[in-house]
Structure 1
Amino acid sequence: MRHGVSQVDSKTHRVGCRLPNQLDRERGVAKADAVGAALAHMIGLVGQQLDFLHLANYLDPQTFLHCISRSPNTRQLYERVSAALFQGASAAEPIAEPALESSDFGWVTGLEKSVEIEEAAQAFGVETSTAKRLMKDPLYCYPNGNSFFDLYVDVIDGLHRLGTAQKGRVACLYTHSSTLRALMIYLDPRPFHEAFSEFSDYKESQDNVVLLTVEQGRMSGYSTAVGLSERERVARNTWMTVEATRKDRVTLKPRSLKRIVALVSGGDFAGAGAALKELHVTGQRMGLEVYFVRHGYLGLANNWIERVTDEHTRGMGSHPSSPIGSSRFEEFKQATVQQIAIRHLEPYVRDGALIVLGGDGSMRGARALYEEFGVQVVGMPGSIDNNLEGTIALGFQSAVTLADQSIDSLKATSAAMGSVFFVEIMGAGSGHLALACAYQARAEGLLVNEHPDPNAYIDEVILGTLKRTLGVPNKSHLFIVAERTPHRHHKDGGVHGLVDYVAGVIAQWPERQPRPDHYPLTPATKATILGHTLRGARPIPEDKAIAQHLAHEVVHRLIDSPEDIVGCLLGYRERGSISPIPLHAVVPKQFDWDVFSRMHGITRVS
């Protein structure tokens, strides 16, 4: 643990091991007391658990080893913490441990940082901003002192040595922020330069304790409470502010829901019918009025809102795509159109909620209705693109299943005829569907929008693979292409122009030329566009089960705990795991380069 707030502030001055600093009488002592109380409380709880299990209490404070640095503030921290641990009993004298010393700033010890930067800039003959960057480098060595990297090595080596020498004991180490900073960098799994950048500043607002374990000569973080870097702290505070604002907009009270209105927006997908059916069934059982909106946000603007009956939902559970229609309605981005939709929707969402099924664009529309107009809205993920982070989207697995059936047929034909097939899969802005189809079907290659250089991939991977494998008996040649993937062979990208280019190159290869008494198999190069057939896939059992589970949870959570779900997308993370994702936190899913690389048997593409 480190000292709290000292009299000479390390924010403004170079302190280091040469300056005998003292705890600030008000803030520093109070913080030290708080650390001691928290540590004593934790040890007491662990002791109770060990007693209950009839195990020896290895966290007996009387057996602790206490180590401090030479600076008075670490001794003062020890005194405050030990007072909390021993409750008036005498404590052992602490041991001075060199590994706990702070940085050695040499001649600049005690100097104001602003003055130091100006003097360094003058000495180096550079701007102050440049001097500041130089001084933040871990290898920058202070005049007659040391560098941070020197400290880093001393701290880690010293703690390893201490842990090995005191095997079987518990040690309380009282130290400085620079020591904990070195420790955080060491424990971070990232390379040194990345971790150093993350923890380049250690703020007074951060926590004070790191729990370590040394086993078999190796040191690791058993549990860390080192607080947040400045960037993480800002991000956390921003998140808390935005999330508090989301909850403030929730006007629906528990057990007050009277009706739900559901719509499907964007590209259609399998599983929408199963979700809508479950919304009606569960809503009806809970005494709610249930309404559907035809054709998504377009239907809101046109007031196509209808009360749902049992007759409406018969057979809906197995319906391919959306049984109440869907649409892409770009005009809904306009405030005037949204206001028209709100006028139509308002009578239905008094004591009610809107449920939006769709992808990322649909969730942006739902967020606008919630944040701008206060509509109590919940999202459900539905998109064959499966491009929402943190959830499986309805329709994705059904689309992959249907594509796999078609691709298997094409592979059989390719193997029999020696043909080359380029299969275009939907996903103009997202390659997740194409990747899943290619990986599951063991395609020869995959061309997606996310690739950093599609032209190089065509020339090196696609043509390179064909150069090696064309003519191999019973070998299929099939490549998956995400629609509109850009390349130089056609302005529309995708399979357009690609087939002709590849066929032309193959035709020029010497081994493809006829010779006396040799007539090579001439491979046909063809494009197959699966396209919208995947949107109309019949829902497979997995999609139907996820849809029903999500819809059931949406209704019950809206009734029981609306504050936890209104203004959120209800995500299906894994089998049986459902949790809300605030609409303000819904982001596109990152392309899985690990799977892409595994598919190609190569090192991960960056």
Structure 2
Amino acid sequence: MKRIGVLTSGGDAPGMNAAIRAVVRKSIFMGREVFGIHRGYLGLINGEIKKMNLGSVADIIHRGGTILLTARCEEFKTEEGQQKAIDNLRKYGIEGLIVIGGDGSFRGALDLGKRGFPVIGVPGTIDNDIPCTDYSIGFDTAINTVIEIINKIRDTATSHERTFVIEVMGRDSGWIALESGLAGGAESILVPEVKFNIEQICDKLLKGYRRGKLHSIIIVAEGAARGFDIGEAIKERTGFETRVTVLGHIQRGGTPTAMDRILASRLGAKAVDLLIQGERNKMVGIKGKDIVAIDLDKVLSEKKEFDFNIYELANTLSI
């Protein structure tokens, strides 16, 4: 394999640039040419493909977002769109493709794989909802962003003796809420994986108030409930002055943490190794300290397991 392509797709995640950098520099180190596809599958269909060199990825390891840009593409879901994408890859002599993104991006990659084109997936999503890997690129940065905001809101919550509800992202996954809630000392964490009882949440708040607690923080995953609905329910049942903050896309941006930069570098380099070794239709991931390769079919057929032990620990420590 002499020419490798790389693209980012779906929602951006801090650390994607570090992964791009690793793909480009490892490919060149191994004597291969590497081409960047701009705007994901949309750019692949439109032929937005450029050869990359060492300078193309200089000074990007610390930047959030993705220098290759990303976009949604309905046309790629059609057979005609997929064939057009493969035709463009072959036009540039690209023999293997590395796709950095989430499950939707991987489904697109597997569609290309089923048409005989070698693909390797690199998990990049702040939601951390990709099975068969402990972490995805961007998750660590996202939860650290949430924790920083929790710390700031707690100052105001204490000063005004208020209850704050903070809604975080995660789609149908509660991982951001879970880990940021534990690290941020939240009184309650609402996630889609666990059915919550608003009466129990309010009882815990009232119990804390009676023992002199000045404030409370409730973390709500967007897949579990709307933050404003929870805020209204708490105010109605307790009479506490409640404020709601919806963090939104602020969680996607920012300088990636050291953990995300290192993870992205390791996964990107491993993806290049796999293509050169003749592997295809795989995803690279991390299990413990080891970088592993898993069939994309397996990844897309499973659901990431929620860590109920961490959830119970958070409940225990928030009494």
1:463-502 equivalences in 2 (<5 Å)? 463-470=202-209, 472-473=211-212, 475-485=214-224, 493-502=225-234
Structure 1 residue ranges (4+ consecutive) displaced by more than 6 angstroms after TM superposition: none
C-alpha contact 2:120 2:283 (8 A) present in aligned 1 = yes
The residue aligned with 1:459 is 199
1:425-464 equivalences in 2 (<5 Å)? 425-452=168-195, 454=196, 457-460=197-200, 462-464=201-203
CA deviation after TM superposition for structure 1 residue 550, in Å: 1.6
C-alpha contact 1:412 1:476 (8 A) present in aligned 2 = no
1:498-537 equivalences in 2 (<5 Å)? 498-507=230-239, 523-537=240-254
Distance 1:475 1:390 in 2: 42
Give the secondary-structure state (helix, strand or coil) at the position aligned to 2:227.
Answer: coil
* TM-score of the aligned structures, taking structure 1 as reference length: 0.50
C-alpha contact 1:360 1:588 (8 A) present in aligned 2 = no
Distance 2:148 2:161 in 1: 20
Distance 1:445 1:544 in 2: 31
Q: Which residues of structure 1 form unaligned runs of 5+?
A: 1-256, 486-492, 508-522
Question: More strand per residue: 1 or 2?
Answer: 2
Select the residue among 306, 309, 316 that pairs with 1:594.
Answer: 309
Distance 2:202 2:74 in 1: 40
CA deviation after TM superposition for structure 1 residue 342, in Å: 1.9
Q: Larger relative CO (CA 8 A, sep 6+): 1 or 2?
A: 2
1:196-215 equivalences in 2 (<5 Å)? none
Q: Rg bigger for which structure? A: 1
C-alpha contact 2:118 2:275 (8 A) present in aligned 1 = no
Distance 2:260 2:93 in 1: 28
AA matched with 1:556: D
CA deviation after TM superposition for structure 1 residue 322, in Å: 1.4
The residue aligned with 1:326 is 70
Distance 1:349 1:467 in 2: 66
C-alpha contact 2:40 2:69 (8 A) present in aligned 1 = yes
Distance 2:6 2:256 in 1: 19
The Cα offsets for residues 532-568 of structure 1, whole Å up to 9 and x where unpaired, read as 1111131111111111112222223322x22xx3110
The residue aligned with 1:102 is none
Distance 2:83 2:20 in 1: 26
The residue aligned with 2:292 is 579
C-alpha contact 2:162 2:214 (8 A) present in aligned 1 = no
Select the residue among 101, 111, 120 that pairs with 1:368.
Answer: 111
C-alpha contact 1:418 1:471 (8 A) present in aligned 2 = no
The Cα offsets for residues 494-543 of structure 1, whole Å up to 9 and x where unpaired, read as 21322222212222xxxxxxxxxxxxxxx531111111111113111111
Give the secondary-structure state (helix, strand or coil) at the position aligned to 1:542.
Answer: helix
Change (3 A) 1:349 1:367: farther
Q: Which residues of structure 2 form unaligned runs of 5+?
A: none
The Cα offsets for residues 227-259 of structure 1, whole Å up to 9 and x where unpaired, read as xxxxxxxxxxxxxxxxxxxxxxxxxxxxxx101
Between the aligned residues of both structures, percent identity stands at 32
* TM-score of the aligned structures, taking structure 2 as reference length: 0.93
CA deviation after TM superposition for structure 1 residue 472, in Å: 4.7
AA matched with 2:267: L
Change (3 A) 1:494 1:329: farther
AA matched with 2:138: G
Distance 1:552 1:412 in 2: 42
C-alpha contact 1:380 1:570 (8 A) present in aligned 2 = yes
AA matched with 2:91: P
